[in-house]
Amino acid sequence: MKEKIKVFVVLPDGVGLKNFAYSKFYNIGSENNFEIVYWNNTIFDLTELNLKEIKIKYSKPHPLTEIYKNARKHIDLNLSIKKTKDKVYDSYRFPFSYSNWKKAIKSIITQTIFITHSSNVGLSRVREKIKQNERKTLYYNQCLETLQKEKPAIVLCTNQRHTTAIAPLLATQDLGIPTSTFIFSWDNLPKATMVVETDYYFVWSEYMKKELLFYYPYIQESQIFVTGTPQFESHFDNNRIISKNEFFNEHKLDINKKYICYSGDDITTCPDDPQYLADVAEAVRLLNNQGCSLGIIFRRCPVDFSNRFDVTLENYKDVIVTIEPLWKKIGNEWDAILPTQSDINLQMNTIHHTEMVINLGSSMVFDYAAHKKPCAFINYDVTNKKTRIGLF
């Protein structure tokens, strides 16, 4: 029997579980003579899914890596503004924090670095500094030991945006093993989320390929492969669908109403989401007064555990029903909130049993499009618009 090709799949955080552990990725790989081994930095036990894993036991980056990573993001955004003459890239920045002396020092150092390195030459220096620092860590050396023992043929990282992925990929490259990364989401590239650098890049579409070449000119076209994404695979498995009566009973919905879904964004992307939801609810009330029988299912962003919607949900409880995503919160950061297989079924049935989706631009439109359902983006600014920009 032909020897299987060993592929290491780096899970630096929980966001890659849905694409690469809950999908058919593992089975398809096995059927095509690949031995898939997950290099797992999450708390999730993949052996429960009968998947092979090697736990990453120590994943602490260099103390300066976070600072240089944040500086790099601002440099990338500055270069995008210079290249396009478009200030929209400022909206992808996060405000600096001065809430305590440690955060204040980090903010000052980060600003100093990106202000003094906002050129292609400066960016190159920052990229190299990140690599130099990571190669000094215990984490890097432990990654080397794992790779030398396991000898994978290639290493695939499930997303491009987490600092804990840098050391494993650097160790892999230093041993001469090919590396690759998957661009996790459709809007990641303009937002300067690239943290890792690999030999190959997998993207959703030809459009994303053009974006990758535009925003990261040091990447060559021959390094990029258009593969699509496993993210929407579940929508083509009708065995996940339950009956309308079962879904409506489970979530206490009115069988005589037709429901639209309002899909929330995270608090940094859309701080005005509660007002937009209220506007949609007000419109639904008006339509119901004219003889329609409509309701709203509110599905919040899975990483948003805030109470910012409470007032809106209370004021419009006659038209809004909340169905909470079934994600597990294991920490306070967005990447410490893990998707579950149960939520895949919940999301799919929510789509199947609603008429359309409304939001400000999340990937839920692709989920609905897979079901051939209408999608609507909101395209106006609310009064007293909130902002998270605090830099300039």
**What would the mean pLDDT of 93-100 be, rounded to a whole number?**
89
Last residue of a domain, one of 103, 133, 163: 133
Do 370 and 283 lie in one domain? The reply is yes
**117-147 pLDDT tens trace:** 999 999 999 999 999 999 999 999 999 999 9
**What would the mean pLDDT of 272-300 be, rounded to a whole number?**
96
What is the tally of structural domains in the chain? 3
User: Could you tell me which of 365, 337, 357, 345 has the C-alpha nearest to residue 251?
Assistant: 345
Kind and range of the H or E element at 342? helix 341-352
Residue 301 lies in a domain: yes
Do 244 and 213 lie in one domain? The reply is no
Residue 373 pLDDT > 80: yes
Strand locations in 281-369, DSSP E?
Answer: 294-299, 320-322, 328-329, 337-338, 357-359
Cβ neighbour number for residue 389 with a 10 Å cutoff: 11
Do 31 and 144 lie in one domain? The reply is yes
Residue 44 lies in a domain: yes
Last residue of a domain, one of 112, 133, 154: 133
Name the amino acid, one letter, at 227. Answer: T
CA 97 to chain centre: 23
Read off the tokens for 17.
Answer: 């579980």
Confidence of residue 1 (pLDDT cuts 50, 70, 90): low
Do 221 and 316 lie in one domain? The reply is no
Do 39 and 155 lie in one domain? The reply is yes
**What would the mean pLDDT of 256-279 be, rounded to a whole number?**
91
Residue 95 pLDDT > 50: yes
Residue 5 pLDDT > 50: yes
Residue 180 lies in a domain: yes
Residue 329 pLDDT > 80: no
pLDDT value for 33:
95
Please state the pTM of the whole predicted model.
0.90
Residue 204 pLDDT > 90: yes
Do 186 and 333 lie in one domain? The reply is no
Domain range for 190? 5-60+137-231
- Helices 166-174, 138-150: axis angle to 10 degrees equals 50
Do 74 and 55 lie in one domain? The reply is no
Confidence of residue 391 (pLDDT cuts 50, 70, 90): very low
**CATH code for position 243:** 3.40.50.2000
Do 348 and 262 lie in one domain? The reply is yes
**What would the mean pLDDT of 280-308 be, rounded to a whole number?**
94
**What would the mean pLDDT of 193-221 be, rounded to a whole number?**
97
pLDDT value for 348:
94
- Average pLDDT in the chain: 92
Residue 383 lies in a domain: no
Burial of 184 (0-12, 13-18, 19+ CB in 10 A): buried
Residue 333 pLDDT > 70: no
CA 201 to chain centre: 16
**10-19 pLDDT tens trace:** 999 888 898 9
CA 9 to chain centre: 17
Residue 335 pLDDT > 60: no
Kind and range of the H or E element at 55? strand 53-55
Do 253 and 107 lie in one domain? The reply is no
Do 102 and 168 lie in one domain? The reply is no
Read off the tokens for 102.
Answer: 């440690």
Do 9 and 45 lie in one domain? The reply is yes
Between 27 and 268, residue with greater pLDDT:
27
Name the amino acid, one letter, at 175. Answer: L
Residue 263 pLDDT > 50: yes
Do 43 and 73 lie in one domain? The reply is no
Residue 378 pLDDT > 50: yes
| 3-class DSSP state of 41 | coil
**232-255 pLDDT tens trace:** 998 998 999 999 999 999 999 999
Residue 105 lies in a domain: yes
- Residues shown for the chain: 392
Kind and range of the H or E element at 66? helix 65-84
pLDDT value for 200:
98
Residue 391 lies in a domain: no
Confidence of residue 303 (pLDDT cuts 50, 70, 90): confident
**What would the mean pLDDT of 330-351 be, rounded to a whole number?**
80
Residue 118 lies in a domain: yes
Last residue of a domain, one of 94, 118, 133: 133
Residue 382 lies in a domain: no
User: Could you tell me which of 264, 290, 288, 292 has the C-alpha nearest to residue 278?
Assistant: 264
Confidence of residue 328 (pLDDT cuts 50, 70, 90): confident
**CA distances (Å), 304 to each of 24, 59, 217, 255, in order?**
28, 25, 34, 29
Residue 228 pLDDT > 60: yes
Residue 189 contacts residue 174 (beta carbons within 8 Å): no
Confidence of residue 94 (pLDDT cuts 50, 70, 90): confident
**56-77 pLDDT tens trace:** 988 999 999 999 999 999 999 9
pLDDT value for 248:
97
Residue 297 contacts residue 350 (beta carbons within 8 Å): yes
The CA distance from 340 to 96, in Å, is 32
| 3-class DSSP state of 182 | strand
Residue 190: CB partners within 8 Å, gap ≥ 6? 80, 89, 92, 211, 215
**What would the mean pLDDT of 13-34 be, rounded to a whole number?**
92
